[in-house]
Amino acid sequence: MIDCHTHLQPHGQQPPMTRERIEQYVAVARGRGLTQIAFTEHLFRFREAFDLLYGWWDADPDPALAHLARQYWEDHVSGSVAEYVRTIEAAKRDGLPVLLGLEMDWIPGHAGALARFLAPYDWDIVLGSVHYIGAFGFDDEQFAAEWDRRETAAVWADYGALVRDLAESGLVDALAHPDLPKVFGHRPRDETPLHDAILSGAAVHGTAVELNSNGLRKCGEIYPALPLLERARRLGLPITLASDAHTPERVGEHFDRLAGWARSAGYEEAVAFIGRRRQPYALPG
């Protein structure tokens, strides 16, 4: 199995993204029987992205939300994407079972800038994620009060439209934690409209759907919900397996449960991406 979604830095911390730290992740991965791991650091960690996208939050009419989003991005910048790429590529050349990836936040209206950010580097995998609706960081506890000011179904609808646009852009290989708005337990009566939006977008380019075990820790359920996954299978969409680890000890966490979740939806294989090309492998069990 291959963990297609890991981070070298926890939220709120900025340990150096070094070879030594990479080796800590690799040791845990090997101990759990994984054959490879992809490092997919967040876009907002990199100074180049911050400079390129600076001010995107000002499109939100609520200055309080814009301030929180700006503060979050300012607080999380911690390095250079060029140095990150060099570090991962050096580890690859030395035979470590690692892949070069990125988790790319979707910023509406900035597809061209995002494409320019991606262009210089030989990524193995690019994950696409939506963490903001306007400047509302719906999965961040700093924004929790905003949920009380919005209708849950409307938040889910807005999120679904953004994920659909992200998938249709063709910039990413897999959709990370697809039904993320369930993270704090805010769920509409009918989740089908979100599933419709995600799947219609993913179907345009055959974008993979990520199974993410971090949902078990965050909300007691794997991302995504089983009905969405079953429909993805019927559409022939590939899946990736992911821990979303931000610390070494969580690499490959609960992958037995991910494999079982996938099999219950009818999947027999998952995929990884190498050089942004799909590499299928059989699920265990």
pLDDT at res. 125: 98
Question: How many domains does the chain fold into?
Answer: 1
Strand residues in 52-194 grouped as ranges (E) = 98-105, 125-129, 174-175
Instruction: Tell me the CATH number at 13.
Output: 3.20.20.140
CA distance 209 to 178: 7
Q: Are strands 174-175 and 125-129 parallel, antiparallel or unpaired?
A: parallel
CA distance 39 to 244: 10
3-state secondary structure (DSSP) of residue 256: helix
CA distance 285 to 283: 7
* pLDDT at residue 285 is higher than 90: no
Q: What does the pLDDT look like over 15-29, one tens digit per residue?
A: 999 999 999 999 999
| CA nearest to 130, candidates 203, 43, 204 | 43
Statement: the pTM of the whole predicted model exceeds 0.85:
yes
Residue ranges making up the domain that contains 254: 2-282
Q: What does the pLDDT look like over 151-204, one tens digit per residue?
A: 999 999 999 999 999 999 999 999 999 999 999 999 999 999 999 999 999 999
Q: What does the pLDDT look like over 197-244, one tens digit per residue?
A: 999 999 999 999 999 999 999 999 999 999 999 999 999 999 999 999
CA distance 183 to 203: 25
pLDDT at res. 143: 97
Q: What does the pLDDT look like over 271-280, one tens digit per residue?
A: 999 999 999 9
* pLDDT at residue 12 is higher than 90: no
CA distances from 279 to 1, 115, 125, 238, 272 (A): 11, 23, 11, 10, 5
